[in-house]
Structure formats: C-alpha cells, structure tokens
Amino acid sequence: MSTEVKTEDSGEISINFGEIYQALKKYKISIALIAFVFTALGAFYSLTMNSEYVSEVKILPEADSKIGGSGGSLGGLSSLAGLAGINLSGSMTGNDAIQPAMYPEIVQSIPFLQELAASSVYNPKKKRLQKLSEYLAEDNSNAPIKLSDTKPKEKKDVEYNRLPKGAISSEMININQKEALILESLKKSIVVESDKKTNLIKISSTALNPVIAANLSDLVLNQLTRYIIRYRTEKVRKELNFLTKRQAEARKRYDQALFTYSNYKDQNRNVFLNVAKDQGKKLQYEVDLAFNIYSNLTSQLTETNIKLQKETPVFKVLAPAQVPLQRTSPKRSLITLGSMFLGLFISLIYVFFKSVNLKELLS
C-alpha cells in the first residue's frame, strides 16, 4: 500500500507503508537494543543524582497604614495601581525604606549569609546539632550510585602578604576560599520570592536532607524578621538607650541632691542666719531641678518605649516550615522514560538512513 502526496512544485512524495513496516520488522532488534541502551543509561544517570528536598515558608509582612490615612487621597490610587501590578506603598512612604521586594537581595547578601552559616541545625545522620557551615563543608551526597561528593572544592587563596598594612579596611568583607564556597552553596540553596501585588513572601530552601531543608527555611525566616525589625527600630532603640543612660544619671543626681539637702536640714534645725537659710533654699532648688529633670526623662523614656512597640513590624506566618515527605528532585521515572523515547527516536533515524537510498533521494 502506498500513498502519494503532491507538492506545489508538481513533485511527488511516495510513502510506502508496507516498506516502512518491513524495515521496522527487519531492524526490530536494533531498535529494541538502542532503546534499551538509552533507557539503561538514563536510569543509571538518574541514580547518580542526589535526592533534593524543598521546604517552603510563606509570610505576610505588616502593611503600612500611613498611606491610606492621608485623607484617603492615596487609597483609591493605590488600589488602582495594585490592579496593574504596581505597589505604591513602597514608593510613597518614608517610614520603611526596606520593602518586601528588597527581601531577596537582603537574604542573598554576604553578611546575611555569614550570620546564617553560623547558625546551628540538627543533623539527623549525626543525631546532634552542628553549625550550618560545618554541615555544608561535609560530603552529604545521598545518591544510590555515588560518582562524586558534594564537598566544596577548595582552590588556592589569593595572597595578600605583599599588600601594605592598612591596604584593606577592617570594614571590608575579607573571606577565604573555603568560606566563599560555603556561602555560594548556601546562596544557591535559598530562594526568596515577593509578590508585588499582595506583598506575600515565599522562602524556599533546598537541601539533601528533609530535616535540614525545614531547619534552613525556619532559620531564614527568623533571621530575616530579626533583620527587618532591627532596621525598622534602630533609630528608636538608639534613642531609648540614650534616654535610659540619661535617666540613670538624673536619678543618681536627684538622689545625691536629696541626700545633701536632707543632711543639711538635719544639721541646721535651729538656724536663724540668712546665710544658712539661703544655703537651704539653694539646696532645695537643686533638689527640685534634679527631680524635674528626672521626671521629664522618665516621661520621655516611657513615650519612647511606646514608640518602639509601635515601630516594631509584625510578620504573619501563613505557612510555617514543614519537613518534606517526598523528594522534589530528581524525577528518576521521568528521566528514564525520557531516555527511552530518545533512544526510540534515534533508533528510528538509524533505521531510516539504513533503509532509504540516499542517492535516489537526493537525485
């Protein structure tokens, strides 16, 4: 049985299904062998891949209410802009310079990663807590067929011996090659996504152990919230620290003035001299002044404590970290099936070139 298909240049392409069937029948062993080889290679490759687990955390930062309070003029505009995917809350408020869209950059910064690497996680294999940096520096591969380890490959550090003293500032970040590799591995393991419309933050952590993945997500969540709280309240905390010290000094000054005045009165009960009376008035004035200063500072300290509470942002955890029950990757069955179909495709191409006369086809 054959079928003829006419083309625009009046040429004809003859497709003989009988010949195709005979060719497939003739080379069926080759087709099966090639497909089997590719399937086996795909299965072998999938078994050399480490199992990875992903744990997610979803949080919702506190919305800034100062925008809607400006006479309602920005409330409608902000709603309309939200429909277009634009967040005006971050651009029109001076209260918070760190917006949710900046959270991914914060998490990927070296100081943040350094603090995170110094945190402790529970290692189920060793059944104890250990620093995250120590865990990442070890070989934690879990592939059924191990071809290489996951331990970072160290390179020779850059030599700074020839640089003059003071060439590198103490405020600059200076890390060695080993720490750089650990931080790079940690950086690849964390993904932070921010929804511009809803300000919803999703933190995803990938690890070769499900417990480590959940611990890492929880660590990132806690450290990020602490970072934002410290930033938002830094100015108020400095003011609070200043007022606390001044209040303690004022209290000490008041106690000293009161003691001096009381001691004077005890020693000069029946004095009628004007000089002594003036000295008593002076000491009384110092007591009143010290008390007024102390009282004023105490009032300011109370107000600053209230202000600190107001400035502290609130983060609502919508989905806490959970130990994943199944690995996220690799999909070994899909890799094996994909390799099998690739083998079938290549085998059919092989059969085509073996069965077709190229000279007649190209003439």
Coil, strand or helix: which one is 240? helix
CATH number, domain containing residue 93: 3.30.1890
Instruction: State the total domains in the chain.
Output: 3
Do 185 and 255 lie in one domain? The reply is: no
Do 280 and 358 lie in one domain? The reply is: no
Do 62 and 180 lie in one domain? The reply is: yes
Q: Tell me how far apart the alpha carbons of residues 294 and 315 are, in angstroms, rounded to a whole number.
A: 36
| pLDDT in the model for residue 166 | 63
What are the DSSP calls for 296-345, one per residue?
HHHHHHHHHHHHHHHHS--EEEEE-----SS--B--HHHHHHHHHHHHHH
Do 112 and 201 lie in one domain? The reply is: yes
Do 222 and 124 lie in one domain? The reply is: yes
Do 109 and 59 lie in one domain? The reply is: yes
Coil, strand or helix: which one is 188? helix
| pLDDT in the model for residue 57 | 94
Q: pLDDT tens-digit profile of 98-108?
A: 788 889 999 99
Boundaries of domain holding 280: 241-307
Do 181 and 276 lie in one domain? The reply is: no
Do 108 and 140 lie in one domain? The reply is: yes
Instruction: State pTM to two decimals.
Output: 0.72
Question: In the chain, which ranges are E strands?
Answer: 2-6, 12-16, 53-61, 120-123, 128-131, 190-194, 201-207, 315-319
| pLDDT in the model for residue 205 | 94
Coil, strand or helix: which one is 128? strand
Cα dihedral sign, 285-289-294-300: positive
> Which residues of the chain are under the pLDDT cut of 50?
1-10, 67-77, 79-86, 88-94, 361-363
Contact by Cβ (8 Å): 154, 181: yes
| pLDDT in the model for residue 153 | 67
| pLDDT in the model for residue 337 | 94
Q: What would the two tokens of residue 8 be?
A: 């625009």
pLDDT > 90 fraction of the chain, expressed in percent and rounded:
41
Do 115 and 253 lie in one domain? The reply is: no
Do 139 and 250 lie in one domain? The reply is: no
Q: pLDDT tens-digit profile of 293-335?
A: 999 999 999 999 999 998 888 889 999 999 999 998 889 999 9
> CB-hemisphere CA count at 13 Å for 339?
18
Do 127 and 187 lie in one domain? The reply is: yes
Do 181 and 76 lie in one domain? The reply is: yes
